[in-house]
């Protein structure tokens, strides 16, 4: 490619390098922008589960009489609180948490941690692919479609937890042998 501008005052051609001369693709900024938007939606969906998990643990503890020794069960990182919920679900007391898909939420949290803590690195040479890199592994399989699917699964779990939290104290124990009226 020829340029009309000649050498600068030092004798060097200011436009000697032109990416189009060498077939190097341009990085599409929309790829990163779309990834950032999908990641933001995923984080917001996870945050909804996070707060609902804490609120549900607090309601369970209240149902157990708020023993001071169990107060710490509603605190700590997400994985620890999820483990605490799983433990409470095993108690012989009906805490109304048996239908929570704890393993599904655990898997979603694992995937959230990969994308939330992974460094986004776009391939400079093909212009379109990217990887997430953490200090142990590279992930090339977190496409926008996958991020959106994870977000949808998280939203479904949050939608399941929300009424459990909102109506937790509405549930009443029926006397032994009685049936609810439908």
pLDDT in tens, the chain (182 residues): 455 555 666 665 555 555 555 555 567 788 889 999 999 999 999 999 999 999 999 999 999 999 999 999 999 999 999 999 999 999 999 898 999 999 999 999 999 999 999 988 888 777 678 888 988 899 999 999 999 999 999 999 999 999 999 998 776 666 788 776 75
116 lies in a domain? yes
Torsion of CA 41, 43, 48, 54, to 10 degrees: 180
9 lies in a domain? no
pLDDT in tens, 4-52: 555 666 665 555 555 555 555 567 788 889 999 999 999 999 999 999 9
Q: Give me the pLDDT at residue 113, please.
A: 96
Q: Give me the pLDDT at residue 15, please.
A: 55
21 lies in a domain? no
7 lies in a domain? no
181 lies in a domain? no
Sign of the torsion angle spanned by Cα atoms 48, 53, 58, 60: positive
Q: Give me the pLDDT at residue 123, please.
A: 80
Count of domains for the chain: 1
pTM: 0.78
Q: Give me the pLDDT at residue 22, please.
A: 58
Q: What is the extent of the structural domain holding 160?
A: 27-168
19 lies in a domain? no
15 lies in a domain? no
98 lies in a domain? yes
């Amino acid at each position: 490619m020829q340029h009309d501008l000649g050498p600068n005052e030092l004798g060097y051609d200011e436009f000697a390098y032109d990416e189009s001369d060498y077939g190097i693709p341009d990085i599409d900024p929309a790829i990163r922008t779309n990834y950032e938007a999908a990641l933001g939606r995923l984080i917001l969906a996870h945050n909804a589960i996070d707060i609902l998990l804490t609120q549900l643990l607090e309601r369970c503890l209240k149902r157990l009489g708020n023993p001071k020794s169990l107060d710490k069960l509603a605190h700590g990182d997400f994985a620890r609180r999820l483990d605490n919920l799983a433990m409470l679900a095993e108690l012989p007391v009906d805490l109304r948490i048996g239908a929570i898909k704890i393993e599904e939420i655990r898997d979603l949290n694992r995937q959230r941690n990969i994308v939330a803590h992974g460094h986004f690195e776009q391939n400079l040479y093909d212009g379109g692919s990217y990887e997430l890199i953490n200090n142990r592994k590279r992930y090339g399989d977190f496409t926008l479609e996958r991020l959106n699917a994870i977000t949808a699964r998280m939203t479904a779990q949050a939608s399941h937890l929300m009424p459990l939290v909102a109506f937790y104290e509405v549930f009443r124990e029926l006397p032994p042998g009685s049936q609810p009226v439908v």
